[in-house]
Structure 1
């Protein structure tokens, strides 16, 4: 028998912890941004996914009002840097609540690399960077959804197998519940099944015109 949890009865923090523990694993957007005063910011956001294919857009959610959100709204630009396993401790450190006048790039010791299409720099140590311009922000409850249009994808050739990224070379990090993180673990491959190939599927007869 299952345990039912009412979000209102549980309260914000308790239910938030439950959501974080069951909506897993979550990819991490390691977002670099620049304040209106020119201070660089870098922060991980684990509510992150693709928002649109054409035009290409990605989205991340700011839980509450964070520096990333303030900066993106002020400048209209940001970069999603790939969260690689090798940068585990630095990615975690960039979640520290530094005051806005302190740059996480300097505090955690990563290199700011010029982007090709936006003024916000990329993380040089990250194998992939999605350079984005702000498309829209959407307030939802106590959060804000940030949607950016991808203007350039910069990728390290070392993580490519031919012209396609290799998951074993990328080694992505993901967030779980509590203070838990995960790596890729076992990778399985399976092709989608077309309905025409579904065993025993019913093929309706061709319609006839009267």
Structure 2
């Protein structure tokens, strides 16, 4: 089939998020002006650079995570793992502003080293970030898409010794969680290795 998104797809549900998957989940913790911690998962998240280490998350609307990150200039990305799937889902609740999702989801706040927002103590890894850019993308017609994209540079990295194998981060041991389409998720249970080819020329 072929369809133009602006004209509709004719399917029971939009397949876009299912096609663009799996997507790593940015489990973002921030801190409000009042010092209340906020925690929420974002499936529009990824790394965009390795030097410097840059990550972004995209908020569809001015939700607390994007608002707090823009105001404070800081956020933490907590690794979403299979053993924390229920807590991750709980933290996505549409709670009123000022509710601490750490408490609601039964998670422990752990102090960060270089930024003020706490990290999730139960996570195998966490990235402390400082905001470098906040953008509000436009659609083809030039009107705002209603999206806030927050980019941050990773200034500190926490890794549990339990997921370090022979000096490498083991995604299977960490059971990294990813978002698919609809209500579906996936967890890494196996990996395979390929070596990038080298062009030898004629």
SS in 2 for 1:57: strand
TM-score (norm: length of structure 2) = 0.91
Matches within 5 A, 1:141-156: 141-156=145-160
* 1:127 aligned partner: 124
* 2:62 aligned partner: 65
Note if contact 2:172-2:189 (Cα within 8 Å) is conserved in structure 1. Answer: no
Matches within 5 A, 1:35-184: 35-140=32-137, 141-184=145-188
Bigger Rg, structure 1 or 2: 1
Note if contact 1:128-1:154 (Cα within 8 Å) is conserved in structure 2. Answer: yes
Aligned residues: 194
Alpha-carbon separation, structure 1, partners of 2:100 and 2:12: 32
SS in 2 for 1:59: strand
Note if contact 1:35-1:41 (Cα within 8 Å) is conserved in structure 2. Answer: yes
Identify the structure with the greater helix proportion. 1
Alpha-carbon separation, structure 2, partners of 1:15 and 1:4: 15
Note if contact 1:7-1:15 (Cα within 8 Å) is conserved in structure 2. Answer: no
Note the C-alpha offset of 1:16: 8.8
Tell me which moved more, 182-191 or 105-114.
Answer: 182-191
Note if contact 2:76-2:126 (Cα within 8 Å) is conserved in structure 1. Answer: yes
Tell me which moved more, 136-145 or 74-83.
Answer: 136-145
* 2:140 aligned partner: none
SS in 2 for 1:17: coil
Whether 1:7 and 2:11 are equivalent positions in the alignment is no
Note the C-alpha offset of 1:15: 11
* 1:190 aligned partner: 194
TM-score (norm: length of structure 1) = 0.88
Tell me which moved more, 48-57 or 70-79.
Answer: 48-57
Note the C-alpha offset of 1:60: 1.0
Alpha-carbon separation, structure 2, partners of 1:186 and 1:79: 27
Note if contact 2:25-2:179 (Cα within 8 Å) is conserved in structure 1. Answer: yes
SS in 2 for 1:73: helix
After the TM superposition, which segments of 4 or more aligned residues of structure 1 sit over 3 Å from their partners? 14-17
Note the C-alpha offset of 1:18: 2.0
Structure 1 unaligned residues grouped into runs of 5+:
197-201, 204-210
SS in 1 for 2:86: helix
